[in-house]
Chain A
Amino acid sequence: MTTPAPVLVLEHAGRSLAGRVIVDALDLTLDKGEVVGLLGVNGAGKSTTLRLIAGVLSPDRGRVRINGCELDEHPALARRAIGYLPEDPPLYAELTVVEYLRFCGRLHGLSGGRLQAALERAIERCDLGEVRRRLTGALSKGYRQRVGIAQAIVHEPDLIVLDEPASGLDPVQALKLRELVRSLGEQHAVVLSTHLLSDVAACCDRVAVLHRGRIRHQGRIHEPGSAGRLRVTLERAVEPADWTGLTGVTAAEPIDPRRWRVQPAAAGGPAAIAAAIVARGWGLTELRSDDIPLEETFLRIASSETIAEADLPVGSASA
């Protein structure tokens, strides 16, 4: 029995526009059932990378493979396996939601009973039932975004590419959208671009940090061994030796003298650690989960001025 090809493979893909390198040396592999967050500051090259993956833009070096099929050589076949939501949902304002989604489904080769079933499924998954007869031009930003996602999933593609799907949404809408992306990730491969760490933490299995057109870091969101790790912020500066023998702590790593990353012992948990810190009079101001050491990584990469500075020794190159 042969192993199925990864849904998406980017092999050293790059793209220059007007003589300027926009993205370069992109290597990324994605399997079904995975959600990868493409994280980067504005102008990092996220949208260009997603356009390369979606087949809207051709790479001028490297390769893009969808289900083992080269996008440049078999564009029609490969594109059928992709659902793409650009940064601005591509909606025809004069069509109703149902008319629009029916057009998108047909455009991807669906017809008859299959089309109707896919349409109903997309409407249900994106919770569009109450606006199905409304013109897309008359919808709120949140609904427009959901219709955009519905068009990307209506043909049940293997790969779903979402460019800043939560942009402009209110907190409630953003929460619902994250749940939707999470559920999509169970059956599809999803690439999601965002500049929000919270989106990545909530929706993604893996993250790729893009900076100045290159992937500087790839890794899992929940690294092995990081489960249950805590972030502690204190009023007083303490030394590493001060943590020795503290109840409930097996290891402590400084971020700075007032902020620490702490590995709790199996017994006791956060409550025991909080009690021990208070008892020592260190002035506990914050105690929270630290499953995402990503924040420092991202900020370090994002604030780096040069490419060499941005290259990280830890967790880089491959997931």
Chain B
Amino acid sequence: MSAWLIAANDWRRHAVQPFAWALAAVVLALMAWQFLVALGAYLQLAPKLGALPNAPGVTDLVAIPLLRSFSNLLLLIVPLLTMRAFAGERQLRTLPLLLAAGAGDTRIVLGKFFGVLPLALALVVLVAAMPLSLASGTSLDLGKLAAATLGMAVYAAALVAIGVACSAWVAQPALAAGLAVAIGGALSVLDLGARFEGIGNSAINWFALPTHLEPFLRGIVASVDIGYFVLICAVALALTVRRLHHLRQVP
């Protein structure tokens, strides 16, 4: 109950502040522009593609690249949404209200996680809806689009969990955002060297975010990839609970 209460309070606070709306407007405008550019390029290529056997369709050439590009953008915007989860409370000195209430540390952390997650998911759904709007005029691979959207959703959830953990770890929101960008970025490029060497199935590949996002973007939903993102969420949130407990020991 307390977790939903804290989450609902954060939604309300996000809703009445211009920051989340402005961020969403900028992100959606940017993605809409990318979508229109990709669509224009596709329309120019369409006559040539028609002549090719097994030519990629609008899903492969417009929808999936759009979501892949959005996954990179999420690395930057999710930390901006999560940075105030705990660091903002500490800066405004409102954290004692939550700490002194009957809610336990786990519920507080879950409340903060679910307070930001719907915003990130809303952005994913809105961006995924852009190529979906073509369904009335052309045939889309809806299964692949659904898999990619699901992948983006669990990927966004992992970034939210990392962002919330970073926000609990430092007292300044800007620093929390910077730390979350750094960790998200590091997890994205972790296996870059291995991939340059042509290695794709080593342990370092397994730890990298793109290794588990790419199958979704290819239309493959595997439990191991979902498990990876769930694991990231669980570890990040467990560390946040631990941190909150530590804040009761050393304010």
Contacts and interface: CB of A to CB of B under 8 A. Distances in A.
Interface stretch (A50-58, A189-197, A234-242): A50-58
Interface of A: 17-18, 51, 54-58, 60, 75-77, 79-80, 82, 84, 86, 88, 90-95, 99, 103-104, 106-109, 151
B125 interface: no
A75 B106 CA distance: 13
A214 to B, nearest CB: 20
Nearest to A96: B16
Contact of B96 (A84, A94, A95, A108): A84
B115 to A, nearest CB: 12
Contacts, number: 71
A56 B2 contact: no
Contacts of B104: 75-76
B100 A103 contact: no
Given A58-B249, A108-B102, A92 B13 contact: yes
A91 B9 CA distance: 12
Q: Do most interface residues of chain B lie in helix, strand or loop, or is the interface mixed?
A: helix
Contacts of A56: 96, 99-100, 248, 251
A151 B248 CA distance: 21
A90 B96 contact: yes
A55 B94 contact: no
B2 A107 contact: yes
Q: How large is the interface on B (under 10, 10 to 19, 20 to 34, 35 or more residues)?
A: 20 to 34
A76 B102 contact: yes
A51 B97 contact: no
28 contacts: A54-B96, A54-B100, A55-B99, A56-B99, A56-B251, A57-B248, A57-B249, A58-B248, A58-B249, A79-B101, A82-B100, A84-B96, A88-B93, A90-B92, A90-B97, A92-B13, A92-B94, A94-B17, A95-B13, A95-B16, A103-B5, A104-B97, A107-B2, A107-B5, A107-B97, A107-B98, A108-B101, A151-B97
Best-buried of B100, B103, B104 by chain A (most CB within 10 Å) = B100
Contacts of B22: none
Nearest to A152: B100
Given A90-B97, A95-B12, A109 B102 contact: yes
Interface string B88-129: 000011111111111110000000000000000000000000
A75 B100 CA distance: 9
B102 A80 contact: yes
Given A17-B250, A86-B93, A107-B5, A94 B16 contact: yes
Contact of A106 (B5, B17, B98, B99): B5
B96 to A, nearest CB: 5
B220 to A, nearest CB: 43
Nearest to B99: A56
A51 B9 contact: no
Contacts of A80: 102
B20 to A, nearest CB: 11
A182 B103 CA distance: 29
Contacts of B5: 103, 106-107
A71 to B, nearest CB: 11
A55 B13 CA distance: 26
A290 to B, nearest CB: 39
B123 to A, nearest CB: 21
